[in-house]
Structure 1
Amino acid sequence: MVLALKDQFIWDSWYVHDGEKYHGYYLKAPRSIGDPEQRHFNVSYGHATSTDLVNWDHIGECFRPSKDGWDNYTTWTGSVVRGDDDLWHLYYTGTRKNDPQLAQKIGHATSTDLHNWERVGDGLILDLIGPNSEHYECDVSNKEWHDRAMRDPWVMRDPEGLGWIMYFTARAPGIEEANDAGCIGFATSPDGYDWTLQPPVFTGGFGQLEVPQVFEKNGTWYCLFCTAAHHYSQEQTKLRPVVTGNHYLIGEGPRGPWQIAPGFLDGTLPCTRYAARIVDTDDGMVILGFADRPEGADFIGHIMDPDPVELTDEGLLVIPPQLKAAE
């Protein structure tokens, strides 16, 4: 049973386990808008729960753009963690109406029940300003790129010390080839409330590395991301299949150094699954993402059932039947 709603488009999603069940959060928009590309600008969050990531109970809408704040246009992809204060913390992407650069910023809300979220102040916690902002593309008024990227925050405890770290989708300045300027942005916090922008932990290869997710497995660090065939750099076009979907970086630690993994993890053209997450379950790792346009169909817009993910002896992520084909 896919995670689907008859009258809603569903796309990017993220997951957290409360000790008893999984909570899935997803971007949604009414199918009545017609053009699925307009879903990004008619967005709110849905919330569902599951014990197996296959059968879902829909709880309903749980978050949406503010009425007249910095995030009154869109609330896009985020992540949820449990803080040191025993609250649940949502970190999310926001944009403001009538912004010609579609500048994205990072917001923060908290909850006691994983469904009812309250912004911390006006919600805004991080922007591409101040110290270290020179490491990011902060102005796209020249129209070389379609937005000022700072989105898809992935937050986790800092495994190398006290506090918290955040990864996000962004772009680096001063790079001649637009499709080589995508980067994984980085920020740190002592408490999950006050954040400091840091230089990116990885730059290059693609015009954008969307929806990052960082995790460690067997001593190796992985940064899952998604990208499109038309966002490959010239160099990457020569090195790997030109597809749209989900791939990853391999790192020596949470701050890197990082490198692009060989091949491509989970891609097709046209795209089958996008904006995927890897969830570590009692039965092993699985990957979930939204159904895009498999086999050239119209946009589907639901979360596909999970597929297993394996680690090869070389420490590479593989999704069967790719694994079977390699044997």
Structure 2
Amino acid sequence: MVLALKDHFVWDSWYVHDGEKYHGYFLKAPHAIGDPDLRHFNVSYGHATSTDLVNWDYLGTCFKPSEDGWDNYTTWTGSVVRGDDDLWHLYYTGTRKNDPQLAQRIGHATSTDLHNWKRVGDGLILDLVGPNANHYEVDVSNGEWHDRAMRDPWVMRDPEGDGWLMYFTARAPGIAEANDAGCIGFATSPDGYDWMLEAPVFTGGFGQLEVPQVFEKNGSWYCLFCTAAHHYSQEQTKLRPVVTGNHYLIGEGPRGPWRIAPGFLDGTDPCTRYAARIVDTDDGVVILGFADKPEGVEFVGHIMDPDPVELTDDGLLIIPPQLKAAE
């Protein structure tokens, strides 16, 4: 029983548990736009709740672009955490209308009820500026890439000390092959409000590593990401299946060093599931993401039901084949 809306496309999603139920947030755009490729620029956030990640109660729109701020064009993928101040914190991607480079920045809003969100100030908390900006591609006016990437923030408590860590999709400068310049950007904060841009924790392999999610299981660290078949570097096309979908890095700690896991976790061509998330449940670890083009032709646009994820003895993530229903 997928998470689908009758009159909207649904895609990237993220999840948080409030102690009683899961809250799912997702990007949505009305079918009335016609072309699903236009969904990115007609976007708002939907919100739904569930006790099992299968049956969902849709609560409506909970966030959207500002009227005339730095984020008046799009509000894209983010993450939600509970802060030390007992507020819920939303970290999100924003862009401004008529920006020729489609420059992305990171925003911040808070809530007491997980549905009604209020921007902190004007919302803007992080940009590719300051002493560590030289580690990032901050100008794409030469046309070698299609946007100035800084999006999909994933925020978590720092397990190695006080404060918070943020990971995001970005690109590194000065790399000859465009499809080898994708990176996992990084920032730190003592309180979740004031953020410091740091150097990326990983660079290379793909033109972009989208929708990162960092987590620990059984003492090993993982960074889930998604990428497309046409964004593989020349080297990576020789090392793994050239598919579109969800893969991961393996790290020695939350700051790395990181390496690309062997094989490919969850990919097909055309893509079945994209922008996936790993979620811990009472029954184990599951993966869920949106249905892209599982039939190979048309964009579908709903959140697929979760599939189980297992951890092998050598520390790799796998999605075991599902048992076919008895005939």
Q: TM-score range by the shorter chain?
A: over 0.9
Secondary structure (helix, strand or coil) at the match of 1:239 reads coil
Q: Provide the residue aligned with 1:265 in structure 2.
A: 265
> CA 1:135/1:322 → structure 2, altered by over 3 Å: closer, same or farther?
farther
Aligned to 2:214: 214
Partner of residue 253, structure 2: 253
Task: Give the Cα separation in 2 of the matches to 1:43 and 1:174.
Answer: 32
- Cα distance in structure 1, aligned partners of 2:323 and 2:22: 27
- Per-residue CA distance 1:44-76 (angstroms, 9 max, x = gap): 000000000000000010000000000000000
- RMSD, matched Cα: 1.0
- Distance across 1 between alignment mates of 2:255 and 2:216: 12
> One-letter code of the match for 1:67?
E
Equivalent residues in 2 for 1:162-201, closer than 5 Å: 162-201=162-201
Aligned residue for 1:47, secondary structure, equals: strand
Query: Which one-letter code corresponds to 1:246 in the other structure?
Result: N
1:147 matched to 2:183? The reply is no
- In structure 1, the residue matched to 2:242 is 242
Report how far residue 297 of structure 1 moved.
2.7
Q: Which residue number in structure 2 is paired with residue 15 of structure 1?
A: 15
Give CA-to-partner distance per residue, 1:195-234, whole Å, 9 cap, x none: 0000000000000000000000000000000000000000
**1:127 is matched with which residue?**
127
Distance (Å, rounded) in 2 between the aligned partners of 1:53 and 1:173? 39
Instruction: Work out the CA distance in 2 between the residues paired with 1:131 and 1:56.
Output: 44
The reply on whether 1:112 has 2:112 as its aligned counterpart is: yes
Once the two structures are superposed, what CA deviation does each residue of 1:99-157 show, in whole Å capped at 9, x if it has no partner?
00000000000000000000000000000011100000000000000000000000000
Distance 1:142 1:78 in 2: 28
Aligned residues: 324
TM-score when normalising by structure 2: 0.98
> Counterpart amino acid of 2:107?
G
Name 1:33's counterpart in structure 2.
Answer: 33
User: Percent identity of the aligned residues?
Assistant: 89
Counterpart-to-counterpart distance in 2, 1:302 and 1:295: 14
Q: Could you say what secondary structure the match of 2:173 adopts?
A: coil
List gaps (5 residues or longer) in structure 2. none
Unaligned runs of 5+ in 1: none
SS at match of 2:235: helix
Structure 1 stretches of 4+ moved >2 Å: none
What TM-score do you get using the length of structure 1 for normalisation?
0.98
Tell me what 1:96 maps to.
96
TM-superposed deviation, 1:289 = 0.3
